[in-house]
């Protein structure tokens, strides 16, 4: 077997399939573009869904790629096993309606066993197939010459996710030898499908030949009109075998990270420390690539997953006695180690480090306190199940991902109260966030649209109206002979822009002497023809009919102005904020433009003003907007800004605005920046950690914003009784100071009243079990309950204060306990929780001070009796 680096293995794979007529498709971003069904790209085929489901037709039906992928469904196993990862690379070869089983199996075998390529020993390879796939069996035995004794027939070898394309699959396994077979079970491990480290799956080819449908048995699935091949091979596994690593982590993909981590601690990569090192090495790769690809930390969706991954790694760093923020220091190690195939990581190091360090510091401030609370709870309660409310508090207050608490609990032999946690999430459901499924089925193939090859030309850059013939009619994706109500039309030529690149589609009308159509939407068919979704107002449409197409020019002009303004905004951001700013998304319609960009902090008021000033300066400079056609390489050499991970055609449009802005763009633009009129930033906000969003308006819409602000100031001036809007700020500052002084006076009076009230309440104290106990209703603001309860206990010295308010049938309980009360088993958290549960509410807190709410006031007496019982009041 050849000795190869991971870079050499990746290149060898891609070179092999390029030699066999495959187009090398650049790997897609981990953050899916235009696919709301996925949180992450999680396989090689996920990045090619548009080809497999027929949304687009590829230039070449044979494709190969090396695809970054993230999966976190088995995160708890990462570090424990030899091969689990959250980030991995999937090497794949794909056939979209071209070759099928015979060629796919040959390519796999040839790549593995041919001395020109990997040169594996054939006697080390085993194969599994679907139990009923006779065709695959015959190919392996008769064409490849594999001994049938090395073939496993399994009912599990059938790939299907939901509805859509599916089919049987065949896997290749590599025998790593007796060293990885401590019990000496030999081939029994493989044929009885026992979990083991000896027979390692290295190749999986899916024969996508059926269409899964809801409610239809697998045996009755219909054959696909276009049969496909989907192959996946994990780079990390292959590297481990070729480099002789005991695990995937003992290879050149991970060891540089592990060695860099070793320098931060006295604990070496050995024994029980190995798991922590492996978790850190895996997770920093995930975080680095995800952030570099435009993901962010947040409390929902992919941002929550990313936060969970980083926080798990931070905790394992503490097990290695690494102090303070440290993960950000490993970002350059990952970037340098992977720069051979992913050179863009080098440019992103500083940006990624800033985000990682900020997230580490944010978590570090809460991790220690959260772990203390968890440890205290475990010591105080001899339980086997961790209370759901405690789990929720760790999640909600201290940022502990649920899975992290589960993992800590498991280490201590506990389970968690999932039902109780879910109840708390429901109770505070505004904090709950829904996340989409990682795995989604592919759409049903639209055969008619996929096979529609007639060309359609877009003439909308130069024309707002044109005459053209109908060349295709469709209804719900199926070809039809005529339209009488609604459907989709393809013309030989069209001036209507199809939604793409963040710019909305054109609307307008299509007509001739007999028929009038309203254009509802314009999208792109699989072969890029503009597909006009229309509503037939009167008449009939048939193929060959000639029509006049006319866009809504007023709307188009507004869209153009907004789109061009975003190019100026992008360039201004580079000038004012920094070169690290990258576009992370955009949306352009007639009413506004929206621009998302990478940046790690809120823009200052001065930055926003300068950006706005700069854009308006370029508008007033009347810069000519010039569009040129070039090759993608020429465009990049010219300095044109290309969007990260965007797939471009061989020939691209480059839009320049003087020397200030030059970008690759297929949208519609003004001919001179003066046509933008005015540019006004409406808002600047965060849409996730590391991603900011600017919403802006131009022309008359911007003027309306200024007018609205003017009217607001005039209204304020009237309300404040000043005779000029220039005096509004001064008057407001005066009122703010007066309000502050009044609040200070009010709080001083409240403290005095609270002191008087506590003196009266002390007279209600009842002695029980050596403690003085107060249980009573009070008439104070909810915000003062805790202060009053603490004051009472301080004056009681050895005692309990349980006080509550009742407003609009809503109860709020607060309890405070002295240390002597806690020593006798009376905890404030238990008291309020008991009362709240009886009254249909929830809540909690510390043993010495806690609050909770109740919804059912009719149960108040029952709740108070229970509190008296706990306090041993007869």
Q: Would you say residue 258 lies in a domain?
A: no
Q: Are residues 96 and 227 in the same domain?
A: yes
CA distance linking residue 874 with residue 591, whole number of Å: 71
Please state, rounded to an integer, the average pLDDT across all residues of the chain: 90
Q: Are residues 573 and 523 in the same domain?
A: no
| pLDDT confidence of residue 383 | 67
The structural domain count of the chain equals: 5
Q: Tally the C-alpha atoms within 13 A of residue 421's C-alpha that lie toward its C-beta.
A: 22
Domain boundary among 516, 536, 551: 551
Read off the pLDDT of each residue in 670-686 and give the average, rounded to a whole number. Answer: 96
For residue 27, the model assigns a pLDDT of 92
Instruction: Classify residue 254: in a domain, yes or no.
Output: no
- 251: in domain: no
Do residues 108 and 140 touch, judged by C-beta distance below 8 A?
Answer: no
Is residue 429 predicted with pLDDT exceeding 80?
Answer: no
Q: How far apart are CA 634 and CA 632, in angstroms?
A: 6
Residues 532 and 638 occupy one common structural domain:
no
What's the CA gap between 567 and 655, in Å, rounded? 9
More confident residue, 44 or 565: 565
pLDDT value, residue 428? 55
Verify that 280 and 365 share a domain, yes or no.
Answer: yes
In this structure, the answer to whether residues 523 and 664 fall within a common structural domain is no
Is 346 part of any domain?
A: yes
The residues, ordered by sequence, that sit 6+ positions from 604 with a Cβ below 8 Å of its Cβ are none
Q: Where residue 482 sits, what CATH number does that domain have?
A: 2.40.30.130
Residues 6 or more apart in contact with residue 90 via CB below 8 angstroms: 43, 44, 66, 67, 69, 232, 233, 234, 235
In whole angstroms, give the CA distance from residue 709 to residue 819: 57
CATH number of the domain at 669, please. Answer: 3.30.980.10
At 49 the pLDDT is 82
Residues 774-804 pLDDT 10s:
999 988 877 788 888 998 999 998 999 999 9
Average pLDDT value for residue range 528-549: 96
CB atoms within 10 A of CB 32: 18
Claim to verify: residue 177 and residue 208 sit in the same structural domain: yes
Q: Is a pLDDT exceeding 80 seen at residue 360?
A: yes
pLDDT-derived band at 432 (thresholds 50, 70, 90) equals very low
- Interval 684-703 mean pLDDT: 90
Provide the CATH number for the domain around residue 67. Answer: 3.30.930.10
Residue 511 lies in a domain: yes
The pLDDT of residue 69: 96
pTM given for the model: 0.68
> Which pLDDT belongs to residue 645?
53
Specify the pLDDT at position 647.
Answer: 64
246 CB contacts (<8 Å, ≥6 apart)? 82
pLDDT, tens only, 274-303 = 999 999 999 999 999 999 998 888 877 888
Model confidence pLDDT, tens digit, residues 585-594: 899 999 999 9
Sorting pLDDT into bands at 50, 70 and 90, what band is 753?
low
Residue 499 lies in a domain: yes
pLDDT tens for each residue of 236-246:
999 999 999 99
Residue 644: domain span: 556-710
The enclosing domain of 823 has a CATH number of 3.10.310.40
Based on the fold, state whether residues 579 and 680 are members of the same structural domain: yes
**Distance (Å) of CA 465 to CA 470, 521, 535, 544, 589:** 15, 17, 19, 19, 20
Does the pLDDT of residue 437 top 60, yes or no? no
Same domain, 530 and 569: no
pLDDT at 641 over 60: yes
Between 608 and 725, the higher pLDDT residue: 608
DSSP H or E run through 12: helix 6-19
Q: Which residue has the higher pLDDT, 32 or 10?
A: 10
More confident residue, 22 or 807: 22
**CA-closest candidate to residue 104, choices 210, 25, 1, 20:** 20
518 and 537 assigned to the same domain: yes
Average pLDDT over residues 192-211: 95
More confident site: 768 or 402: 768
Q: pLDDT at position 397, please?
A: 66
Give per-residue burial for 532-544: e unless 16+ CB within 10 Å, then b. bbbebeeeebeee
Residue 741 lies inside a defined structural domain of this protein: no
Confidence of residue 75 (pLDDT cuts 50, 70, 90): confident
3-state secondary structure (DSSP) of residue 499: coil
Q: Is 546 found in the same domain as 642?
A: no
- Percent of the chain past pLDDT 70, that is, above it, reads 94
Nearest to 663 by CA among 681, 638, 693: 638
Nearest alpha carbon to residue 461 among 646, 590, 653, 676:
653
Of the candidates 246, 262, 286, which is a domain's last residue?
246
**Per-residue confidence (pLDDT) for residue 54, from 0 to 100:** 73
Q: According to the model, what pLDDT value does residue 689 have?
A: 67
Looking at the domain assignment, is residue 220 inside a domain?
yes
CA 297 to chain centre: 9
**Is 542 in the same domain as 613?**
no
Query: In this predicted model, what pLDDT tens digit does every residue of 55-68 receive, in sequence order?
Result: 788 889 999 999 99
Q: 49 and 118 share a domain?
A: yes
| 136, 129 contact by CB (below 8 A) | yes
pLDDT, tens only, 245-274:
999 999 999 999 999 999 999 999 999 999
Residue in 51, 44, 46 with CA at minimum distance from that of residue 17? 44
Task: Tell me which H or E stretch contains 509.
Answer: strand 508-511
Domain boundary among 246, 263, 284: 246
Instruction: Place 36 in a pLDDT band, splitting at 50, 70 and 90.
Output: low
């Amino acid at each position: 077997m050849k000795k190869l680096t991971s870079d050499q293995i990746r290149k060898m794979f891609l070179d092999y399939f390029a030699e066999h007529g495959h187009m090398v498709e650049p790997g897609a971003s981990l953050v899916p573009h235009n696919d709301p069904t996925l949180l992450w790209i999680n396989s090689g085929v996920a990045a090619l869904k548009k080809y497999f489901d027929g949304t687009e037709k590829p230039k070449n039906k044979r494709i190969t790629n090396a695809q970054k992928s993230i999966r976190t469904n088995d995160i708890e196993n990462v570090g424990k096993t030899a091969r689990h990862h959250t980030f991995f690379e999937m090497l794949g070869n794909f056939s979209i309606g071209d070759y099928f089983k015979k060629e796919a199996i040959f390519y796999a075998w040839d790549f593995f066993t041919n001395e020109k390529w990997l040169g594996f020993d054939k006697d080390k390879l085993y194969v599994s197939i679907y139990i009923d796939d006779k065709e695959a069996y015959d190919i392996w035995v008769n064409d490849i010459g594999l001994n049938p004794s090395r073939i496993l027939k399994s009912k599990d070898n059938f790939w299907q996710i939901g509805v859509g394309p599916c089919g049987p699959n065949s896997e290749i396994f590599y025998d790593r030898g007796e060293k990885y077979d401590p019990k000496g079970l030999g081939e029994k491990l493989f044929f009885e499908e026992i979990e083991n480290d000896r027979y390692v799956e290295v190749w999986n080819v899916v024969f996508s030949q059926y269409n899964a449908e809801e409610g239809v048995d697998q045996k009755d699935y219909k054959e696909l009109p276009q049969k496909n091949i989907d192959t996946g091979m994990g780079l990390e596994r292959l590297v481990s075998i070729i480099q002789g690593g005991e695990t995937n982590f003992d290879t050149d993909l991970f060891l540089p990270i592990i060695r860099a981590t070793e320098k931060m601690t006295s604990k070496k990569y050995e024994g029980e420390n190995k798991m922590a090192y492996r978790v850190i090495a895996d997770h920093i790769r995930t975080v680095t690539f995800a952030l570099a690809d435009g993901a962010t930390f947040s409390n929902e969706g992919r941002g929550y997953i990313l936060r969970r991954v980083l926080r798990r790694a931070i905790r394992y760093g503490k097990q290695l006695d690494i102090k303070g923020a440290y993960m950000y220091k490993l970002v350059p190690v990952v970037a340098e180690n992977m720069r051979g195939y992913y050179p863009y990581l080098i440019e992103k190091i500083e940006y990624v480090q800033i985000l990682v360090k900020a997230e580490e510091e944010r978590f570090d401030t809460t991790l220690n306190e959260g772990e203390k609370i968890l440890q205290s709870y475990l010591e105080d309660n001899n339980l086997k199940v961790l209370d759901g409310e405690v789990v929720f508090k760790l999640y909600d207050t201290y940022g502990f991902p649920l899975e992290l608490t589960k993992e800590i609990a498991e280490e201590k032999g506990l389970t968690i109260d999932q039902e109780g946690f879910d109840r708390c999430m429901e109770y505070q459901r505004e904090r709950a966030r829904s996340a989409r499924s990682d795995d989604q089925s592919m759409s049903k193939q639209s055969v008619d649209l996929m096979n529609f090859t007639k060309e359609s030309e877009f003439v909308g850059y130069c024309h707002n109206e044109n005459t053209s013939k109908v060349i295709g009619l469709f209804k719900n994706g199926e070809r039809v002979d005529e339209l009488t109500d609604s459907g989709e039309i393809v013309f030989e030529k069209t001036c209507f822009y199809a939604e793409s690149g963040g710019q909305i589609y054109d609307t307008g009308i299509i007509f001739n002497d007999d028929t009038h159509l309203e254009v509802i939407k314009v999208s792109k068919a699989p072969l890029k023809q503009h597909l006009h979704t229309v509503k037939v107002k009167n008449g009939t449409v048939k193929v060959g009919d000639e029509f006049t197409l006319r866009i809504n020019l007023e709307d188009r002009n507004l869209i153009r102005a907004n789109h061009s303004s975003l190019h100026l905004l992008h360039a201004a951001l580079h000038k004012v904020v920094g070169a690290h700013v990258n576009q992370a998304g955009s949306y352009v319609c007639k009413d506004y433009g929206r621009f998302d960009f990478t940046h790690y902090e809120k823009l200052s008021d001065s930055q926003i003003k300068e950006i706005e000033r700069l854009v308006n300066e370029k508008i007033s400079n009347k810069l000519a907007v010039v569009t040129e056609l070039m090759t993608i390489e020429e465009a990049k050499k010219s300095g044109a800004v290309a969007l990260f991970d965007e797939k471009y055609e061989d020939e691209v449009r480059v839009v320049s605005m003087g020397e200030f802005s030059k970008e690759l763009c297929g949208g519609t633009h003004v001919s001179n920046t003066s046509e933008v009129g005015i540019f006004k930033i409406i808002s600047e906000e965060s849409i996730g950690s590391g991603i900011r969003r600017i919403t802006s308006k131009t022309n008359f819409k911007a003027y309306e914003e200024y007018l609205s602000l003017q009217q607001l100031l005039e209204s304020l001036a009237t309300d404040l009784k000043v005779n000029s809007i220039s005096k509004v700020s001064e008057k407001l500052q005066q009122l703010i100071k007066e309000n502050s002084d009044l609040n200070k006076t009010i709080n001083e009076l409240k403290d005095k009243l609270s002191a008087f009230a506590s003196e009266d309440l002390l007279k209600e104290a009842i002695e029980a079990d050596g403690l003085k106990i107060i249980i009573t209703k009070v008439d104070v603001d909810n915000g003062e309950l805790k202060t009053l309860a603490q004051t009472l206990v301080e004056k009681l010295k050895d005692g309990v204060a349980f006080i509550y308010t009742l407003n609009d049938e809503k109860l709020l309980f607060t309890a405070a306990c002295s240390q002597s009360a806690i020593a006798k088993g009376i905890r404030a958290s238990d008291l309020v929780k008991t009362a709240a549960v009886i009254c249909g509410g929830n809540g909690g807190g510390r043993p010495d001070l806690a609050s909770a709410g109740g919804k059912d006031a009719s149960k108040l007496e029952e709740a108070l009796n229970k509190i008296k019982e706990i306090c041993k009041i007869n």
